[in-house]
Structure 1
Amino acid sequence: MTRPTAQQIIEALDLAPAQTCGYVRVSYANDVRLAEGVLPEPFQSARPLGTALYFLVAPEAPVKLHRIRNDQLYHYYSGDPLELLLLMADGTSQRHTIGPDILAGHEVQLLIPGGTFHTARVAGDWFLGGSTEWPGVVPEDVELGDADALAQRHPDVAELIRTYPLPRS
């Protein structure tokens, strides 16, 4: 079997361009809806109990610097490794690689704690993964990052932050 192209995967999974992470399709949103005000801050708006999505990252469609309020669990499905930079709320940072080579230290799942700014780039042609979130994500949960402000808060990786794809206004 020959390796599919990114475009073939995008078409097969019906993925669409996304503001924060390449191409995306929400694959699941729980039918159980949490009513407004049921959850503590910052999850005051109504939302599904949980959500899941597919995402494809390519050099021309990267993961931009962003955070969501919700915990996210990234999953590796296919393709090349994804190199992530996590900017933790306490001022520390973490680097992870999600990919197929477990023996080389790749992870096939990675928890990104809610409120963690992160960005990523593919180490190759394309990465296909998934993300599950709880509680479910709604648009106001997503925030694009300010690279300059985050570089000040994380001076140990300030230059590295700028090597990753940055959000555009």
Structure 2
Amino acid sequence: MRTLAVAGLLSFLQFGAQAQPVLVGQWKSDAVRTIQFNKERARLDDKKLEFLSQLMGKMTVTFTEDLVAYDMPDGNMRFGGGQTHWFQGFKETHPYSQIGHTRNTVAVRSTTPVSGNDSITVYNFEDANTMWVYLGGADNGFPEEHLREYFIRMR
């Protein structure tokens, strides 16, 4: 009987280890964690770090079972010389499909907001309510900086 109970517990733990993180919900960009990581580990000069610090913490991403909605509000941004420029935000919704997962990641195929390019994004989960995405790569304007943007679950 005890052997059966131990086997059942091990099966339960193994099943739990294989469960995928839950992407469905509303996620808000976490400016503090994003800037902290990128300041410490990314390859950014001061101008790029200043630019990113003005963008991070504003966008909300909402996942349903088959749609992803991006909401980036309009706002003012201050550039190098101290001049303020209007930043045009965006609201876009696109279908997505999950193409794979591990215990701590979910990979989806969708359309990148603004550019409209087809993309694959891997969402990396630190826990059930904290995830990050890698922003670097050949397909965007930050190919070698090794950037992350962190998100926290709002609901």
Please state which band the TM-score falls in when normalised by the shorter chain: under 0.3
Asked which structure has the greater CA Rg, the reply is 2
Question: Please, what TM-score do these two structures have when normalized by structure 1?
Answer: 0.25
Question: Please, what TM-score do these two structures have when normalized by structure 2?
Answer: 0.27
